[in-house]
Amino acid sequence: MSASGAKVAGHGAQAGDNGASADRRAIDEKHLERMTLGDRCLEREVLQIFVRQSAMMLGRISSGQPGAVVTAAHTLVGSARGIGAWRVAGAAERLERASREGDEDTVTDAIAELKAASLEATAAIGARLAEPLRSH
């Protein structure tokens, strides 16, 4: 755990795990490091983009327009996978599927799950961005 209490994975979750491991961390650091080729400056930039984009997509999801919900959820799936935020990716996938199927009860539950997962990921990212840059 980081100093802020947000969970950031070290060795537990693996790429493609989508949060199913016992570790269930907010961000898979090993995956993130692979995706950014170990470049901490690039990592910071990618994480900052994710935070902005996730806030924007959650705003679109809150609009309640089915087409906007599907598109925003799909965008979040890809973004979350890119940084190893498997729980966010899984919740966004469930929301995208439920929205396509018109299952309002599942949509409501999936939105709540996505918001919680996004909050956890954003907290972990905030803690990571607060860390001083250091070489690996």
**pLDDT single digits (tens) 79-127:** 999 999 999 999 999 999 999 999 999 999 999 999 999 999 999 999 9
Place of tokens 């890119």: 82
Name all domains of the chain by residue range, CATH numbers in brackets. 26-128 (1.20.120.160)
- Taking the C-alpha atoms of residue 14 and residue 86, their distance in angstroms, rounded to an integer, is 9
pTM value surpassing 0.85:
no
pLDDT range class, residue 4, cuts 50, 70, 90: very low
Which pLDDT tens digit goes with each residue over 38-74?
999 999 999 999 999 999 999 999 988 888 999 999 9
- In the structure encoding, which two tokens stand for residue 15, read together? 């790429």
- Taking the C-alpha atoms of residue 60 and residue 118, their distance in angstroms, rounded to an integer, is 14
Contact call for residues 83 and 53 (beta carbons, < 8 A)? no
Q: What are the DSSP E strand ranges found in 15-86? A: 27-28
Q: Residue 107 is which amino acid?
A: V
Long-range contacts of 26-32 (CB under 8 A, 24+ apart): 26/85, 26/87, 26/117, 26/120, 26/121, 26/123, 26/124, 26/125, 27/83, 27/84, 27/85, 27/121, 27/124, 27/125, 27/128, 28/84, 28/85, 28/86, 29/84, 30/84, 31/83, 31/84, 32/83, 32/84
